[in-house]
Amino acid sequence: MAKSLGEKKVSNLVPEDLALLVLSKLPIKSLKRSGCVKKSWSLLFENPSFMTMFRNNFISIPHSYYDDTTIILQEVVHRPLQTPRVKFYFHSLSSKRFENRLKFHLPNPFQEEDPNLYIVESGAANGTLCLHRGFDELVLWNPSTDELNVVPSGSMVSMPPYRESFIKLHGFGYDHARDDYKIIRYFFPLDDHDLLHLNLSEEDVQRDEISYASVWEIYSLRCNTWKELHVDMPSHCYSGLLYTNGICHWLSKSNAEYYLVSFDLSNHVFFTTFAPLATPRYIDPNLDFKDLRTRLVMLNGSIALISWYGDTTTFHISVLGELGVSESWTKLFIIGPLSDLFMYPIGAGSNGDIFFKAGDGKLVFDLRTQMIEELDGVEETYSRIIFYKKNGGINH
């Protein structure tokens, strides 16, 4: 049948500018996969104007990861002329520029006048924090309900011949399959030669300057016991710890190559994702690779790796699109060079904010506006930033 003269021809083609607008709002994982649709889309990461649009959307589009969350700032203040000489503070930060603060009243599980407790840096899991004093005195605490559980000593720690041990916490999280909270760590006993070198730093240990046979352990709150993990898992940790959706993450290194190690708390298996930090050219070919420093953070719901060199104030931020897929790492942001006041990042916020330790306090860099603000009222001290979501409880 002949077409009527008034019938308009409808095109199936989407205008390129509209297609790019849609693509700029996709997650990195989806955008990477869209490259197989047409050649021009596979080259989008080399398109400066598109990447500017993509970065803006990546930071500004709200992510469900941050629903009902608040930021917790831990401060450890050293006061050499006072008693106690070290004071621990926990604050929740809210409002647009974090000026509203609520002080947490820490639990006192060891019945001391001033309990010194650090937050395990992997963060909160299902409303619960893991606190530690040393690495064999651990507490699970839900600030919303004030539920508290003291974790017993590990089986390997109490096993003869009772030698000194080097213990490293590698994560705390929630096992959704078993409705259970778990902690993973490794430790190794020190022999008589090692005892003469107990003042070695963690970096010395990671360079294998002492001999050891490491053992992995995992704690289950539901069973209230530790058990040995029979896994040949990389134990060296070169950045902050992360917990996401039942998986604990840390950055490790082998033969001058970096890997993200991810341990699944439900099935007790791990896998690695190569991180593109194997050569100095990843950041600057003129810098010494040995001075490379890193920190893992959550950036708008995605695993991100901040990289910098110790004597610089330029920070590179790469985001992982898909666990286990090395090619999905994408360098999205370069910050700096910044003022010499910036020392190193201590965490990230929900709106593109990167928190830094500074020479005289804490600074916040806004990735969207490129503006710098000072976090008022924070002393020159050790600090840590984590996210806390008020849900769940400590179940047995």
pLDDT value at position 310? Answer: 77
Domain boundaries, the chain: 62-389
Cα-to-chain-centroid distance, residue 220: 22
pLDDT classification of 86: cutoffs 50, 70, 90: confident
- Closest to 381 (Cα-Cα) out of 114, 118, 71, 112: 118
- Closest to 103 (Cα-Cα) out of 118, 90, 87: 90
pLDDT value at position 155? Answer: 62
Q: What's the average model confidence in pLDDT over 360-364?
A: 81
- CATH number assigned to the domain covering 62-389: 2.120.10.80
HSE-up of residue 349 (Cα within 13 Å, Cβ side): 24
- Please check the confidence at residue 224 and state whether its pLDDT lies above 70: yes
Element housing 150 (H / E): strand 147-151
pLDDT value at position 377? Answer: 67
CA-CA-CA-CA torsion sign (368, 323, 62, 35):
positive
pLDDT classification of 157: cutoffs 50, 70, 90: low
Q: What's the token pair of residue 322?
A: 């898909």
Q: Which residues contact 86 (CB under 8 A, 6 or more apart)?
A: 76, 77, 78, 79, 116
Element housing 314 (H / E): none
Average confidence score pLDDT of the chain: 80
Give the integer Cα–Cα distance in Å for 333 and 260: 19
Give the integer Cα–Cα distance in Å for 342 and 374: 11
Q: What is the CA radius of gyration of the chain?
A: 24
CA-based end-to-end distance of the chain: 73
Is there a contact between 59 and 364 (Cβ–Cβ < 8 Å)? no
